[in-house]
Amino acid sequence: MASLPVEVLLGIYLGFLTGIVPALVAWTLGFGFKYFTGVSIPGFGVVVLAVALAGVSGGLLALADPSVTQATNAPTLVTAILVVTALSLYAHAKGDQLGANAPRKLSLSKLRERTLSRDLSDLVAGGQVRIDVVGDVSDMEGYPPLSDDLRTEIREAEYTFPADLRVSELEERVAERLRTEFDLGDVTVTIDERGRASVAAAPPFSGLSKRVPAGKRAVSVDALVPTGLARGDEVTLITADAQVRGTVLSAKSADLEADKRLTAPTTPAHVEDDDAESTPRAVRAPTTAGGEGRLTAAVTRTDAEPLVRADRARVVVEARGTRLEYELISLLRRTGKRFRRFTVAAESDLDGVTLGAANARETHGVAILAVRKPTGWQLVPQGTTALAGGDEVFAVGPPDRLDAFGEVVV
């Protein structure tokens, strides 16, 4: 008879050898029951089935069978049974977990509507995730290649967003941020469940004309430029014979060393501490340092004429007022609520159903704020409003309720 350590090692080998099929069966049962019924199989039942499949008569009762406990190779058999048990329990747990997280309708569009992995919410405080650009920034087919400097700046970009946003929404937001900050001609973003973004971009194919709204004209004037002026600010330009309102397209101060020029893309800044270690600082919109300089504003055609004639103008920055939509979002977050946009899929449970019949508040715990149809918006829609495939539904409620409602909409 071999020594006890040898018997235990032989039992581990025998357990892994005979436990592969039982573990596969346990995983399949765990995944299948959880995926289709939402019910978890008790672990004890899985263990009994797995040990029985391993060839030991009576399942776990084999541990008390004299033919096993009194056999000359009892340590080997008992160790093998314990290994099969551990393998089946582990496989069942993983199958049950996958069945709970897998989308009920397997499609690429459905996978894109999922949020990021939950453990990423720990990366940034406050239930937010950081999106990093990984890998090489690819060129877009049909466009000129990116410069090495611009490619590096895009690769170093990182952004923070709420963790409950869907992957498709995150991709849209990151693409818009990149397009705005770097004046890209076009950009596509693909984000995986770990918050890693793959980017393909085209270089800027136009300068100032790209930022001039339709029906407007861009006019530049010499002025005393205020400190902190940024692109998009509303200003009033006062000349000797006119007062013209416009939108800032670009501005620069005479002191180019201190000025963050609005005509250049923004890159992440760094600060040096006492230990000479670089720590990233939040990316801010490019602003002017103040002083004598030149400002370019988008104005109407009739307002452009007095500005062109003037040698100099005084700049008055207009207040934009309070952004009430941001206050609403903050209020919803403080009460544990979120709002999302859903697109009603054809042949879904809500296709052809009125809001009154759907009874979203009572059935799903969410409130319908608005419906967007091809004919236009319907704010605070009535219960007689019928939904159809392609309609956009804006709902508010707890995140888990919104997730459940999304399963019905799509």
Q: pLDDT band at residue 149, thresholds of 50, 70 and 90?
A: confident
Residue 270's DSSP bridge partners are 280
pLDDT value, residue 72 = 64
| Least confident interval from 60-64, 220-224, 280-284 | 280-284
Q: pLDDT band at residue 238, thresholds of 50, 70 and 90?
A: very high
Query: Distance between terminal CA atoms of the chain?
Result: 65
- Is the pLDDT higher at 146 or at 33? 146
Amino acid identity for residue 364 in this structure: H
Q: Which long-range contacts (CB under 8 A, 24 or more apart) does 400-407 make?
A: 401/364, 401/365, 401/366, 402/338, 402/340, 402/366, 404/364, 404/365, 405/342, 405/360, 405/364, 405/365, 405/366, 406/113, 406/340, 406/342, 407/104
Residue 245's DSSP bridge partners are 236
What is the percentage of the chain residues whose pLDDT exceeds 90? 9
Cβ-contact 188, 140 below 8 angstroms: yes
pLDDT value, residue 313 = 92
What predicted TM-score, i.e. pTM, was given to this entire model? 0.42
- Residue range 23-44: average pLDDT? 73
Cβ-contact 30, 40 below 8 angstroms: yes
Q: Who contacts 189 (Cβ-Cβ below 8 Å, separation ≥6)?
A: 171, 174, 175, 178, 197, 198, 199
Amino acid identity for residue 335 in this structure: T
Q: pLDDT band at residue 245, thresholds of 50, 70 and 90?
A: very high
- Is 402 exposed, middle or buried, given 0-12, 13-18 or 19+ CB atoms closer than 10 A? buried
Residue 117 has pLDDT above 60, yes or no: no
Give the CA distances from residue 331 to residues 127, 246, 326, in Å, rounded to whole numbers and listed in that order: 15, 33, 9
Q: 66-70, 151-155, 267-271 — which one is most confidently predicted on average?
A: 151-155
185-194 confidence digits (pLDDT tens): 889 998 887 7
Residue 213 has pLDDT above 90, yes or no: no
How far apart, in whole angstroms, are the C-alpha atoms of residue 63 and residue 189? Answer: 57
Cβ-contact 402, 338 below 8 angstroms: yes
pLDDT value, residue 360 = 87
Residue 122 has pLDDT above 60, yes or no: no
Q: Which of 333, 327, 339, 405 is nearest to 128 (CA)?
A: 333
- Is 245 exposed, middle or buried, given 0-12, 13-18 or 19+ CB atoms closer than 10 A? middle
- Residue range 296-313: average pLDDT? 90
| Least confident interval from 215-219, 227-231, 281-285 | 281-285
Residue-range domains of the chain with CATH:
4-101 (no CATH), 118-204 (no CATH), 216-263+286-317 (no CATH), 325-409 (3.30.70.1450)
pLDDT value, residue 31 = 76
Q: pLDDT band at residue 236, thresholds of 50, 70 and 90?
A: very high
59-112 confidence digits (pLDDT tens): 444 544 556 556 666 676 677 677 777 877 788 777 777 766 665 544 444 445
pLDDT value, residue 39 = 67
Cβ-contact 269, 281 below 8 angstroms: yes
- Residue range 118-129: average pLDDT? 56
345-385 confidence digits (pLDDT tens): 888 888 888 998 888 888 889 999 899 888 888 888 888 99
pLDDT value, residue 51 = 65
Residue 279 has pLDDT above 60, yes or no: no
What integer best gives the mean pLDDT of the chain? 76
Q: Which of 85, 51, 56 is nearest to 69 (CA)?
A: 56
pLDDT value, residue 143 = 81
pLDDT value, residue 14 = 64
Amino acid identity for residue 193 in this structure: E
With residue 354 as reference, give the H or E element that holds it.
Answer: none
- Is the pLDDT higher at 103 or at 302? 302
Strands 278-280 and 270-272: antiparallel
Give the CA distances from residue 5 to residues 16, 62, 63, 77, 80, in Å, rounded to whole numbers and listed in that order: 17, 22, 19, 13, 13
For the chain, give percent helix, strand, coil, nearest 5: 40, 25, 35
Q: pLDDT band at residue 37, thresholds of 50, 70 and 90?
A: low
Cβ-contact 253, 291 below 8 angstroms: yes
Q: Who contacts 50 (Cβ-Cβ below 8 Å, separation ≥6)?
A: 19, 22, 23, 25, 26, 84, 85, 87, 88
SS3 of residue 3 by DSSP: coil
User: What six digits make up the tokens of 327?
Assistant: 């206050």
Q: Who contacts 321 (Cβ-Cβ below 8 Å, separation ≥6)?
A: none
